[in-house]
Every structure is written in C-alpha cells, then in structure tokens.
Amino acid sequence: MQPLVLKVDSVQLQFDNRKILQDIYLECRQGQVIGLLGRNGSGKSSLLRVIFGTLQASYKYVSIDNNFIYKGYHNNRIAYLPQHGYLPAHIQISKLARMLVDEQAWDEFAALEIYRQHSHKTATQLSGGELRQLEMLMIMHSRADFILLDEPFTHISPIQADEFKPVIRNCAKRKGIILTDHQYYNILEVSDKVILLNNGCTKHITNNDELVTYGYLSGK
C-alpha cells in the first residue's frame, strides 16, 4: 500500500499588509519526519495553523493524495500540537486520553510509563515537562494520518527530549510528521528532511551549510 502524501502549496498569508507567507511548497509522506526551521516571526506556527485549518490564509492549497483538504482537522486527518498547552485543566488525564487516543493505538499508549504514572491526575497536578510529554503522546497516538508538532522540545528537559526522539521516529513509521522548534539541533537530529522558512518562502535544505548561507545559523 502506497503511503499517503500531504502537499502544501502556494500559501499566501499577510497581517496588516505585511506578507508573512508567500512562496510555500512542501510535501510530507507517511513514514517521514519533516523539520521546519526559521527565525522568530518567520511564520512557522502560522504555516502549521494554516495546514491544520485554524488560521485562514488568503490562498492555500493543502491536499492528501491530491484530494483538497479545506480544514485539516476535519475527519481527524491532521492533528496539531500547539505551542502552548491545550488540555483542559480540571479533567482527569485518563478521560482526556480516551477522547483523543485512537482505539487501535490504545494498548501502546496505555502501556507508556508516563501515562501509567499520571493517568489519575489532572493537568494542574503535572509539571510542565510531564504535561507537555502527555500532550505530545496523545496527539501522536491519535487517528490522524499526519501530525504537526509546534515547539515539542521547548518545555521539556534535554533528557526528556532525548527520550522523546525515538518515540517520534516510531510514530513516523505509520504517520507523516512535520515539526518545528527553536532548538534546531533537535530538529536536525530527528528529521529526514529540513525546510527553512526564509522571507516568507520555503527553502529545501540539502546540506546543513545552507542554514548558514541563508543566515539562519552563524558561520562562526
């Protein structure tokens, strides 16, 4: 069976007559991790929200296997982890997980140590790192064919980040993943392909030296 392909093309977005996104193209196949890099304000989060369907662009083309997707979240085709926490504060983690996690992935999810430790708690009873890990795991064990992760490493410790990279790789065996984070070294380590957002355009990076050429990284 051929892997599904998510295509994003010709996204145009502006705020207050300032163009944020204007020449965008990327593809993500099931089985791939695509890393999205860019400086603060380059539009990374905006692009993920356009793909997911919660931010309206003046123009966009988003498709899965060449079938146009107007709202990525419809029918759970695409799942999105926002920068900031999304779980309700006072509902037990086990109840939230039952709503978000795919039945076919439930046994795998329920066996995770962090879930077994904290399933009886609410979001307010967890540390920031614990909560972020559970939010990511619920998203990645959802029904969605494609997963968008916005700043997955920012609110967890370096040890937790290293533990989480194999989880992302394992998830990518059956899903396509697009992720972005200011901790670029984590993105470079876990991604199959890297795309840089620069001046509203996507630059497909084939060599990390190009990140210096485009001014994302210092050459020093």
CATH number for 194:
3.40.50.300
pLDDT digits (tens, 9 = 90+) for 162-216: 989 999 999 999 999 999 999 999 999 999 999 999 999 999 999 989 999 998 9
Output phi, psi for 182, to 5 deg.
-70, -25
Helix (H, G, I), strand (E, B) or coil at 128: helix
Residue 136 forms part of a structural domain: yes
Alpha-carbon torsion, ordered 47, 50, 55, 61, to 10 deg: 130
Please give the model's pTM, rounded to 2 decimal places: 0.94
Predicted pLDDT of residue 168: 94
Cα R_g (the chain), whole angstroms: 17
Residue 220 forms part of a structural domain: no
pLDDT digits (tens, 9 = 90+) for 2-43: 899 999 999 999 988 888 999 899 999 999 999 999 999 899
- Nearest alpha carbon to residue 33 among 201, 161, 149: 149
**Domain membership of residue 169 as a residue range:** 5-213
Residue 218 forms part of a structural domain: no
Residue 110 forms part of a structural domain: yes
Residue 219 forms part of a structural domain: no
Residue 99 forms part of a structural domain: yes
Residue 194 forms part of a structural domain: yes
Query: What is the domain count for the chain?
Result: 1
d(CA 212, CA 99): 43
Distance of CA 199 to CAs 21, 192, 204, 218, Å? 8, 23, 14, 17
Residue-by-residue DSSP string for 82-93? -SS--S-TTSBH
Dihedral sign for Cα 111, 115, 117, 119, please.
negative
Q: How many residues does the chain have?
A: 220
Average pLDDT of the chain is 93
Which pair of structure tokens corresponds to residue 186?
């984590």
